[in-house]
């Protein structure tokens, strides 16, 4: 081997050693970075575990509250359903009652109207009967009595002076 070859071999060996050394240093920095990252990931994982644990506890508390609320809502829903059924039943009963009451009132009004018409007709018949049976005969009797009285007065009275009587009666009449 020549010197030149030996120099090239030494230079190449030095380059290889330098590359190997640089590679070792790079691997050492990579290893150190990996350890730092691993430590950070472990810390973050621990923090995340704590946060998840706290979140899990809070979620459990929230779920228990939601379950309680859901049970109350379910109870409230059943009460509302029962109340709604009762109200609907009462409204139907009230509607039926009002319908019956209205029909009964209508029948009573018709009955009262019939009674009023019947009484009115009877009163008219009674007035006609009283008029025809009492008032007309009484008026006729009264007229007959007046006629008899005038006739008796005429027959029984003495004659007065015609001039004097007629003027006084005419003046009184006017």
Q: What is the pTM of this model?
A: 0.39
Burial pattern 129-165, b for ≥16 Cβ within 10 A else e, equals eeeeeeeeeeeeeeeeeeeeeeeeeeeeeeeeeeeee
pLDDT at 11: 92
DSSP label at residue 135: I
Nearest 5 degrees, angle CA 117-CA 123-CA 128? 125
pLDDT in tens, the chain (174 residues): 688 888 988 999 999 999 999 999 999 999 999 999 999 999 999 889 999 989 889 999 999 999 999 999 999 999 999 999 999 999 999 999 999 999 999 999 999 999 999 999 999 999 888 888 888 888 988 999 999 999 888 888 765 555 555 555 556 555
pLDDT at 157: 79
Q: Residue 160: CA atoms inside 13 Å, Cβ hemisphere, count? A: 10
pLDDT at 102: 93
């Amino acid at each position: 081997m020549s010197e030149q070859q030996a120099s090239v071999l030494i230079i190449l060996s030095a380059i290889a050693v330098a590359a190997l050394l640089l590679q070792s240093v790079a691997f050492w920095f990579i290893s150190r970075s990996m350890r730092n990252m691993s430590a950070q990931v472990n810390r973050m994982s621990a923090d995340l575990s704590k946060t998840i644990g706290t979140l899990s506890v809070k979620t459990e508390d929230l779920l228990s509250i939601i379950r309680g609320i859901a049970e109350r809502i379910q109870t409230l829903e059943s009460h509302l359903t029962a109340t709604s059924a009762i109200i609907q039943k009462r409204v139907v009963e009230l509607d039926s009652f009002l319908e019956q009451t209205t029909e009964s009132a209508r029948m009573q009004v018709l009955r009262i109207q019939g009674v009023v018409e019947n009484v009115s007709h009877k009163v008219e018949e009674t007035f006609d009967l009283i008029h025809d049976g009492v008032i007309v005969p009484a008026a006729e009797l009264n007229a007959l009595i007046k006629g008899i009285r005038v006739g008796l007065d005429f027959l029984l009275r003495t004659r007065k002076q015609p001039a004097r009587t007629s003027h006084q009666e005419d003046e009184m009449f006017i």
